[in-house]
Structure 1
Amino acid sequence: MASTPLHRMLGQPRAFQMLARIYPPLLGAGIRVTSISPDWTRGELSMHVYPWNANHNGTAFGGALFSATDVLYGTMLAGQLGGGFSVATKEATVRFLRPGRGRMSCTVEVPRTEADRVMEQLQTSSGVDVRHLATLYDPKGRAIVEAEHVLRVKRRK
Structure 2
Amino acid sequence: MDIRTVINRLPSVAKFILNFYSPFRGAGIEVEKMHLDEGFIRVKMPLTRKNRNIVGVHFGGSLYAMVDPFYMLILMHQLGEKYIVWDKAATIQFLSPGRGTVYADVRISPDELTEIRQLALNHEPVFRTYHLDIIDEQGQRIAAVEKVVYIRRKKPKGTRSLFRSKQ
Q: Report the TM-score when normalising by structure 2.
A: 0.84
Structure showing greater Rg: 2
Q: Which runs of 5+ in 2 are unaligned?
A: 156-167
Distance 1:5 1:69, change over 3 A: closer
Q: What's the counterpart of residue 116 of structure 2?
A: 118
1:56-108 superposed Cα distances (whole Å, 9 cap, x missing partner): 11111111111223232221121110123232221122110011222011112
Moved more, 98-107 or 81-90: 81-90
Q: Is the 8 A contact 2:133 2:142 kept in 1?
A: yes
Equivalent residue runs for 1:3-152 within 5 Å:
4-11=1-8, 12-37=10-35, 39-152=37-150
Q: Which runs of 5+ in 1 are unaligned?
A: none
Q: Percent identity?
A: 28
Q: Distance in 1 between the 2:50 and 2:120 partners?
A: 42
Q: Distance in 1 between the 2:71 and 2:88 partners?
A: 13
Secondary structure (helix, strand or coil) at the match of 1:131 reads strand
**Residue type matched to 1:109 in 2?**
R
**Residue type matched to 2:29 in 1?**
I
**Residue type matched to 1:67 in 2?**
A
Structure 1 stretches of 4+ with a deviation exceeding 3 A read none
Q: Report the TM-score when normalising by structure 1.
A: 0.89
User: How big is the shift at 1:154?
Assistant: 2.4
Q: Distance in 1 between the 2:154 and 2:28 partners?
A: 32
Q: How many residues align?
A: 154
**Residue type matched to 1:23 in 2?**
Y
Q: Is the 8 A contact 2:72 2:86 kept in 1?
A: yes
Q: Is the 8 A contact 2:43 2:104 kept in 1?
A: yes
Q: Is the 8 A contact 2:121 2:153 kept in 1?
A: no
CA RMSD of aligned residues (A): 1.7
Q: Distance in 2 between the 1:108 and 1:76 partners?
A: 9
